[in-house]
């Protein structure tokens, strides 16, 4: 029987955060538990929503502040209605503006951890792991759900949501040098696209993969009102998976989490038309048909 790695001391420990729209808030709860158990990944990959939370981790943002942000985030935090017709009804201008306010024009190669955002080449349907250049552009490419967000062009390649080809980016994490990967899977139905399901299963049964599965089945990927509860769902899943690790950094009391973060993702960005004025009941029809579209391609 193979020995189980101690995640607290594993060199080049990896963290692979899967895609799943609004369900990505569960990743925030996982980050909190990792901090509390003294587990510090140094290689991080993210697909779609996972790339947003992964980028926040790579920037060193406090996971408890992220929880406060998640409680107020809407689709307008990440997307803005495109002023002219194109290959999507939203652009990622709001995400770019928020990233610039929080971190400035940071390049991935300047981060203190190894980071890769997984996207899909729209023409070849190949996975593209963006590991250099502007962090905001890489994340914008990874979340570019076809028909919803406009594609992002990086190095001449038109990139869209990475969930089409690698929704749980464990393979990408190993490719970036991780020796053991913590894989957080929030939307298993997306992994059923193409040959992903078998590929993902092959990784999940490996001894060098720790699997965390937040129970998000009854939650919607497109509705943001459940974001605060999803953080707790992520915490519960991580606590189950990492129960053998003692708490070394206790969670701050919740009353201390009410402090306002330096930037509020719910605030409109000057000069950028907001998509969040519509309530979740007014989500654009394109969002409601995304899962069906992905399963057909």
Pairing of strands 127-130, 114-121: antiparallel
Give dist(CA 1, CA 214) in Å, integer: 27
Q: What three-state secondary structure class fits 76?
A: helix
Tell me, yes or no, if 48 is annotated catalytic.
yes
Catalytic member of 68, 121, 161, 191: 161
> Do 190 and 19 form a contact (C-beta atoms < 8 A)?
yes
Q: Which of 291, 285, 284, 289 is nearest to 75 (CA)?
A: 284
Pairing of strands 43-47, 13-17: parallel
What CA–CA distances, in Å, run from 225 to 74, 269, 281?
Answer: 8, 21, 10
Tell me, yes or no, if 217 is annotated catalytic.
no
Catalytic member of 48, 51, 142, 274: 48
**What is the dihedral angle through the alpha carbons of 57, 62, 64, 65, rounded to the nearest 10 degrees?**
-110
Pairing of strands 88-91, 147-149: parallel
> Do 154 and 129 form a contact (C-beta atoms < 8 A)?
no
Cα 207 vs. chain centroid, distance in angstroms?
24
Alpha helices in the chain (DSSP H): 25-36, 49-58, 63-72, 93-103, 135-142, 170-175, 188-191, 196-204, 227-241, 285-288, 290-295
Catalytic residues, which ones? Answer: 48, 161
């Amino acid at each position: 029987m193979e020995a189980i790695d101690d995640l607290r001391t594993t060199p080049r420990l990896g963290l692979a955060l899967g895609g799943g729209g609004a369900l990505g808030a569960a990743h925030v709860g996982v980050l909190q538990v990792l901090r509390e158990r003294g587990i510090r990944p140094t290689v991080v990959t993210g697909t779609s929503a996972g790339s947003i939370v992964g980028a926040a981790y790579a920037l060193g943002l406090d996971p408890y502040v992220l929880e406060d942000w998640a409680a107020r985030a809407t689709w307008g935090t990440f997307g803005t209605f495109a002023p002219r017709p194109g290959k999507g009804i939203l652009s990622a201008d709001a995400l770019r503006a928020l990233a610039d306010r929080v971190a400035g024009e940071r390049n991935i190669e300047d981060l203190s951890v190894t980071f890769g955002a997984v996207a899909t080449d729209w023409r070849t349907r190949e996975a593209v792991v963006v590991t250099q250049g502007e962090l905001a552009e890489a994340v914008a490419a990874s979340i570019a759900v076809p028909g919803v967000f406009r594609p992002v062009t990086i190095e001449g390649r038109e990139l869209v949501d990475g969930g089409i080809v690698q929704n749980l980016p464990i393979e990408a994490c190993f490719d970036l040098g991780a020796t053991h990967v913590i894989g957080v899977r929030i939307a298993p139905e997306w992994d059923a696209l193409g040959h992903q399901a078998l590929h993902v299963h092959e990784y999940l049964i490996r001894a060098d993969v720790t699997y965390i599965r937040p129970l998000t089945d009854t939650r919607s990927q497109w509705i943001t009102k459940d974001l605060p509860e999803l953080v707790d769902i992520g915490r519960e899943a991580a606590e189950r998976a990492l129960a053998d690790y003692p708490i070394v950094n206790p969670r701050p009391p919740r009353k201390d989490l009410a402090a306002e973060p330096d930037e509020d993702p719910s605030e409109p960005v000057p000069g950028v038309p907001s998509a969040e004025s519509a309530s979740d009941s007014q989500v654009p029809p394109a969002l409601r048909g995304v899962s069906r579209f992905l399963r057909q391609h």
